[in-house]
């Protein structure tokens, strides 16, 4: 077969049907090798990232062990570092943001997928995509000059007067704090929830809707009791994705959270988040333990988002495969 | 029974209206942001903003010329790292790889894509700042480049895969080698998509602030060469916004408007390129 391969190179459907030399002459093996090196470098970078985070945080890991995660003291002068206030701040702001963003995001996604005519839905989705492209620091800018004054003057006093009996809405109203950070985060993650949920909802087979309507369900009943449950896992995936974004979000949070390591039930209280403390103190960190404690915070953040992103991907894939009988829009 | 039906219809209409309200609220945020930036920033943009260095602390006036050039240099470096790795890696994934290698590469890329940008900053710091003991444009470019890789890679791969099989087979039937097929048929067929992927990745890192804080750091002067700390627009917005000077706030708005304008234009451009159709329809 050697003669045919030289006259008709590349014609064979099987990889082994040509000699190595002829492939090399066509440059296939070289191209394969070069592109492989580029692809492998992606893996290398990822491995290196995890390795660096691990190695560069060795000091505090040995000094504090797991106590790092549950200690409240963050005192560079005493070389004592505990991550609890930051972990608390990160989780609380993310939780507040989800409480606000999930209903709004899913509502908007239902409108885009179920109700709006395709053209309007596409135009709105275009705006949502643009919204997702707005950089974090711009949200921070608006947070500082618009959301904070608004919170201080109107929203926080208002909440205090109406829901002040709850522990969440007590204490002085500074404008900055967990609640403000949560609200800004909510605005930032809504586009992610909408985009992914809309796609998942669109992948629900048409006959599911029609069956519900044929049984006499109203439009809302078919949406809420049939379509949404069908897409449930995927919507959960979009929420996890949003949660991972909210946890890792740095600039906007840094600008509005108040940057004080506190643990308080009140959402009006200024706080601090993992990403914010890294952003603020990294360049000022004197001493190896201080700097490496910040890097260990980075490691904690990495692990949190890693787990959430993994879960999100699993859920989204699970739904789109189940709904794959009908082509996605 | 009639009452119950009326109630159900009322609930249906009410809830569907509410979903519409949600959508309107979500989209209107974009216009609020744009409106505020144009309102506050528009009046502050002038010739000085683009041509002058920042004024000394306490004096008003000055501009952000060094930050604009700094951002351009950082983005150039990012593109030099992100585009080749993303593009070539995507060709490997779409055209050459077996399924197990592809799984590992895709998994790594998705993982990298999900890493918070501040953690990417730490990574670039430990790689390019710590060994040399000073902040630099190179370190900042590295951080942004690392962020660009997974975004470029995954979307480019998708567009390469969308090229119909018939085109590949046609080229091969004419006797072209695989590498020749890729270079002359597949990549040209998918070029609109690839361009879109690169532009979107570029727009995404253009606004990144967190990874620059402790890699490119910042500066109030010109930054000659590639080995010194440099100012950048996003970091300038951050520093100016939280500073206590009225004049700095004004300039932060102006910088915000310029940055967001740039990012939205790239986004719209990328989508326009794609909307004119990939050279071949998706099968």
Contact: B88, A34; criterion CB under 8 Å: yes
Give A17's pLDDT tier (boundaries 50, 70, 90).
low
Nearest to B263 by CA among B209, B216, B218: B209
* Rounded Cα distance, A135 and A141, in Å: 10
Contacts of B268 in chain A (CB under 8 A): 130
At residue A10, the pLDDT reads: 45
Give A187's pLDDT tier (boundaries 50, 70, 90).
very high
Q: In chain A, which among 57-96 make CB contacts under 8 A with chain B?
A: none
CB atoms within 10 A of CB B186: 22
Averaged pLDDT score across all residues of chain A: 88
pLDDT in tens, B18-39: 999 999 999 999 999 999 999 9
At residue A7, the pLDDT reads: 42
Residues in contact with B43: Cβ distance below 8 Å, sequence separation at least 6, in sequence order: none
pLDDT higher than threshold 60 for residue B203: yes
Q: A81 — phi, psi (to 5°)?
A: -130, 125
Give A20's pLDDT tier (boundaries 50, 70, 90).
low
CATH 3.40.50.300 for domain A66-322, yes or no, is no
Tell me whether A316 touches chain B (CB under 8 Å): no
Nearest to B117 by CA among B211, B218, B212, B213: B211
Nearest to B254 by CA among B107, B96, B38: B38
pLDDT higher than threshold 80 for residue A136: yes
* Residue of B36, B116, B168, B196 to mutate, testing the A interface (most A Cβ within 10 Å of its Cβ): B116
pLDDT higher than threshold 80 for residue B163: yes
* Rounded Cα distance, B147 and A268, in Å: 34
Mean pLDDT over residues B88-102, rounded? Answer: 90
> The complex's ipTM?
0.92
Nearest to B113 by CA among B71, B65, B147, B156: B147
pLDDT higher than threshold 60 for residue B280: no
pLDDT higher than threshold 60 for residue A320: yes
Mean pLDDT over residues A44-50, rounded? Answer: 96
DSSP letter for A322, please.
Answer: H
pTM: 0.90
Distances (CA, A) of B190 to B52, B98, B159, B169, B193: 42, 21, 6, 16, 5
Contact: A309, B105; criterion CB under 8 Å: no
What ranges do the domains of chain A cover? 2-56, 66-322
At residue B252, the pLDDT reads: 94
At residue B225, the pLDDT reads: 85
At residue A210, the pLDDT reads: 92
> Which H or E element spans position A291?
helix A288-322
At residue B205, the pLDDT reads: 95
Q: What share of chain B is helix, strand, coil (3-state, %, to 5)?
A: 75, 0, 25
What ranges do the domains of chain B cover? 66-275
Mean pLDDT over residues A57-69, rounded? Answer: 92
Contacts of B234 in chain A (CB under 8 A): 135, 137, 251
What class does CATH assign to B66-275? mainly alpha
Closest CB to A130: pick one of B149, B210, B267. Answer: B267
Averaged pLDDT score across all residues of chain B: 91
A31-56 as b/e, with b when 16 or more CB fall inside 10 Å? Answer: bbebbbebbbbbbebbeebbebbeeb
At residue A3, the pLDDT reads: 40
At residue B265, the pLDDT reads: 95
Contacts of A185 in chain B (CB under 8 A): none
Interface A-B: count of C-beta contacts within 8 A:
286
At residue A314, the pLDDT reads: 86
Contact: B234, A137; criterion CB under 8 Å: yes
Distance of CA A188 to the CA centre of its chain: 10
Tokens representing A195 are 């985009």
pLDDT higher than threshold 50 for residue A8: no
User: Which residue of chain B is at minimal alpha-carbon distance from A116?
Assistant: B20
| CA angle (A223, A232, A245) in 5-degree steps | 120
CA distance B124 to chain A (A): 9
pLDDT higher than threshold 50 for residue A167: yes
- Answer with the residue of higher pLDDT: A321 or B115: B115
Mean pLDDT over residues A121-133, rounded? Answer: 93
pLDDT in tens, B116-133: 999 999 999 999 999 998
Closest CB to A108: pick one of B23, B85, B256. Answer: B23
| Contact yes or no for B105/B274 (Cβ under 8 A) | no
Contact: A36, B92; criterion CB under 8 Å: yes
Contact: B260, A30; criterion CB under 8 Å: no
Long-range CB contacts (within 8 A, 24+) of A11-15: A11/B172, A11/B173, A11/B175
């Amino acid at each position: 077969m050697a003669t045919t391969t030289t006259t008709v190179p590349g014609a064979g459907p099987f990889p082994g049907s040509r000699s190595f030399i002829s492939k090399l002459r066509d440059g296939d093996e070289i191209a394969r090798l070069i592109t492989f090196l580029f692809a492998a470098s992606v893996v290398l970078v990822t491995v290196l990232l995890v390795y660096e985070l691990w190695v560069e945080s060795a000091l505090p890991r040995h000094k504090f062990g797991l106590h790092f995660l549950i200690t409240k003291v963050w005192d560079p002068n005493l070389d004592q570092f505990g991550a609890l206030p930051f972990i608390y701040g990160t989780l609380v702001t993310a939780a507040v943001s989800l409480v606000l963003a999930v209903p709004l995001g899913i509502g908007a996604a239902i409108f885009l997928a179920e109700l709006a005519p395709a053209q309007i839905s596409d135009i709105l989705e275009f705006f949502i995509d643009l919204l997702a492209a707005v950089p974090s620091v711009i949200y921070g800018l608006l947070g500082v000059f618009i959301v904070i004054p608004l919170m201080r003057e109107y929203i926080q006093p208002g909440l205090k007067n109406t829901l002040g009996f709850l522990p969440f809405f007590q204490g002085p109203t500074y404008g900055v704090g967990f609640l403000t950070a949560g609200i800004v985060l909510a605005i930032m993650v809504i586009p992610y929830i909408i985009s992914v949920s809309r796609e998942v909802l669109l992948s629900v087979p048409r006959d599911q809707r029609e069956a519900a309507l044929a049984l006499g369900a109203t439009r809302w009943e078919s949406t809420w009791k049939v379509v949404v449950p069908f897409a449930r896992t995927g919507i959960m995936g979009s929420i996890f994705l949003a949660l991972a974004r909210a946890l890792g979000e740095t600039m906007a949070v840094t600008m509005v959270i108040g940057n004080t390591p506190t643990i308080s039930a009140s959402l009006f209280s200024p706080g601090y988040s993992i990403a914010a403390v890294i952003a603020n103190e990294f360049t000022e960190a004197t001493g190896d333990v201080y700097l490496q404690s910040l890097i260990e915070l980075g490691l904690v953040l990495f692990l949190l988002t890693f787990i959430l992103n993994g879960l999100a991907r699993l859920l989204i894939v699970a739904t789109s495969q189940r709904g794959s009988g009908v082509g996605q829009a | 029974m009639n009452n119950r039906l009326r109630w159900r219809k009322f609930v249906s209409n009410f809830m569907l209206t509410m979903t519409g309200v949600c959508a309107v609220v979500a989209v209107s945020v974009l216009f609020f942001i744009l409106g505020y930036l144009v309102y506050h920033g528009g009046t502050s943009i002038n010739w000085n903003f683009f041509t002058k260095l920042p004024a000394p602390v306490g004096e008003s006036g000055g501009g952000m010329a060094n930050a604009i050039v700094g951002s351009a240099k950082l983005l150039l470096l990012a593109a030099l790292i992100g585009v080749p790795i993303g593009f070539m890696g995507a060709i490997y994934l779409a055209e050459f790889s077996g399924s197990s290698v592809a799984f590992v590469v895709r998994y790594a890329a998705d993982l990298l894509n999900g890493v918070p940008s501040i953690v990417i900053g730490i990574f670039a710091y430990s790689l390019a700042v710590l060994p040399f003991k000073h902040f630099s444009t190179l370190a900042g470019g590295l951080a942004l480049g690392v962020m660009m890789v997974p975004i470029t890679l995954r979307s480019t791969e998708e567009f390469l895969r969308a090229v119909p099989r018939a085109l590949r087979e046609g080229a091969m039937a004419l006797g072209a080698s695989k590498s020749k097929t890729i270079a002359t048929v597949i990549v040209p067929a998918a070029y609109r998509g690839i361009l879109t992927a690169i532009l979107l990745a570029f727009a995404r890192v253009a606004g990144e602030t967190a990874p620059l804080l402790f890699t490119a750091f910042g500066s109030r002067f010109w930054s000659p060469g590639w080995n010194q700390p440099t100012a950048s627009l996003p970091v300038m917005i951050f520093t100016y916004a939280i500073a206590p000077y009225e004049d700095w706030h004004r300039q932060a708005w102006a910088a915000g408007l310029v940055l967001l304008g740039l990012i939205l234009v790239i986004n719209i451009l990328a989508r326009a390129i794609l909307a004119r159709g990939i050279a071949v329809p998706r099968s």
